[in-house]
Amino acid sequence: MNLFNVLNVSDTKQLIDDNFNIELQSEWVNILDSTGRILKSDIVSNDNVPPFRRSTVDGYAVYSRDVFGCSETIPAILDYIGEVLMGQDAVVEINVPGACCYVPTGGMIPDGADSVIMIEYTEKLDESTILSSKPVSPGENVINIGEDIKIGEIVIKKGIKLRAYEIGVLSSLGISKVEVCKKPRVGIISTGDEVVNLGEIPKLGQIRDINTYLLYSLIEESGCEPVKYGLIKDDFELLKSTLEKAVNECDIILMSGGSSVGKKDHTVNVINSVGDKGVLVHGISIKPGKPTIIGGAGEKIIFGLPGHPLACAVIFKVIVKYYINKIMGYDDVSYPVKCKFKINYHKAKGREEYLPVTLEEENGELYAKPVFGKSGLITGFSKAWGYIKIERNEEGLIENQIVSTYKF
């Protein structure tokens, strides 16, 4: 029996960087279909936003010098000369001392005015006279031309995952289509004589196929296109022909199960038989997920994932997602929740551990509590809010230690 040639997580990622870097093509899509897609090129503005000076409040446009020093006891007396209609050009002009003009929120500021008095601080004395009880400084309650976006400015940088907020910005610039990264095609091959399809009733010693559906959802969440190749029995020739088909049709291939050193686990031999690179990694110092395989056929990367669902999910999040983000040009920055650890927890040194936890609040403080269970139990991460990464040289965590919790 061959033993694992184990790499740590950092060295595994470096090996991936050194051996795999396919170039994904781009495509143009309507902004209504672009949510969650990765932007392929910078968005540069051809317009100023706003294209005119506009008010941020309902009130009266004035020349600020005309209301300096006013107060509730000594209000400024202003001459009302008209109003600006919403969505229309300002036809009036503040061209004489003491003049004012009504402007709605978002309305255009007339020439000669440099600020807006909120309507709450004014009083209409008669049809032509307004009293102001509060001074304003130059530029107060005014958005200037190009203050939000300037012509030639990079508004959204490539590599951004488009959200509803970016879609709103695109629409403000009149952009209806954007260039995005094509979704990587990720093939899923589930293996194992003990695994049966969802429609079947498992016999003793058999289990239903979990990982195909788990991986399918994780792939979609990652902005990729999942491709199912079905449930393949532990037969070398059948696995080889399926893997060859997946290599020809997909950018990334995930083989679930068959990554341990059991005599019926053909994954290593199959990967070695289909490509020039063969198996590059067999074993990562990580818990759960140690028996992970990484190999390649030409430019295509092949992951041999553990059969246990929790281990499979962790390796996808830590290793597979790393490569997906790399080829899509997406810098996935996640910010953890800081909280206290609930108990004393011991781990073996030498492996990074990704510990599923729930979050609970006690007396106004947030605590992370481990979800205990073996890697083969599907409920381990379905019950968890997220996970804590424990470094490989750490021996564990102590009660009330401050930890960083990342959402699953």
**Model confidence pLDDT, tens digit, residues 92-128:** 999 999 999 999 999 999 999 999 999 999 999 999 9
All domains of the chain in start order, with CATH = 9-25+183-328 (3.40.980.10), 26-47+156-181 (3.90.105.10), 54-143 (2.170.190.11), 337-407 (2.40.340.10)
Rounded average pLDDT over 39-58 = 95
Residue identified by tokens 């759960």 is 288
Closest of 231, 344, 228, 350 to residue 284, by C-alpha: 350
- pLDDT score of 263: 46
Rounded average pLDDT over 344-355 = 89
Report the distance separating Cα 358 and Cα 363, nearest Å.
17
- pLDDT score of 3: 46
Report the distance separating Cα 94 and Cα 392, nearest Å.
70
Residue 208 has pLDDT above 70, yes or no: yes
Closest of 390, 385, 346 to residue 366, by C-alpha: 385
CB-based burial, 336-357: b 16+ in 10 Å, e otherwise: eeebebbeebebeeebbbbbbb
- pLDDT score of 1: 38
**Model confidence pLDDT, tens digit, residues 26-41:** 999 999 999 999 999 9
Phi, psi of 139 (to 5 degrees): 90, -5
- pLDDT score of 374: 57
Phi, psi of 221 (to 5 degrees): -60, -30
Burial level of 207, CB count in 10 A (0-12/13-18/19+)?
A: middle
CA atoms in the 13 A half-sphere facing the CB of 3: 2
The mean pLDDT of the chain is: 92
With contact defined as beta carbons under 8 Å apart, do 112 and 62 qualify? Answer: no
With contact defined as beta carbons under 8 Å apart, do 108 and 85 qualify? Answer: no
Report the distance separating Cα 234 and Cα 91, nearest Å.
80
Q: Which has the minimum average pLDDT: 7-11, 328-332, 379-383?
A: 379-383
For residue 65, give the DSSP letter. G
Report the distance separating Cα 356 and Cα 384, nearest Å.
6
- pLDDT score of 264: 47
Q: Helix, strand or coil for residue 27? A: strand
Residue 133 has pLDDT above 80, yes or no: yes
Q: Helix, strand or coil for residue 93? A: coil
> By percentage, how much of the chain surpasses pLDDT 90?
79
Phi, psi of 50 (to 5 degrees): -75, 160
More confident residue, 196 or 3: 196
Q: Which has the minimum average pLDDT: 202-206, 226-230, 256-260, 293-297?
A: 256-260
CA dihedral 224, 230, 234, 236 (to 10 degrees): -80
Q: Model's pTM, two decimal places? A: 0.85
Report the distance separating Cα 39 and Cα 63, nearest Å.
44
Q: How many CB atoms lie within 10 A of CB 217?
A: 12
What residue ranges in 138-209 does DSSP mark as E strands? 142-143, 154-156, 177-181, 185-191, 195-196, 207-208
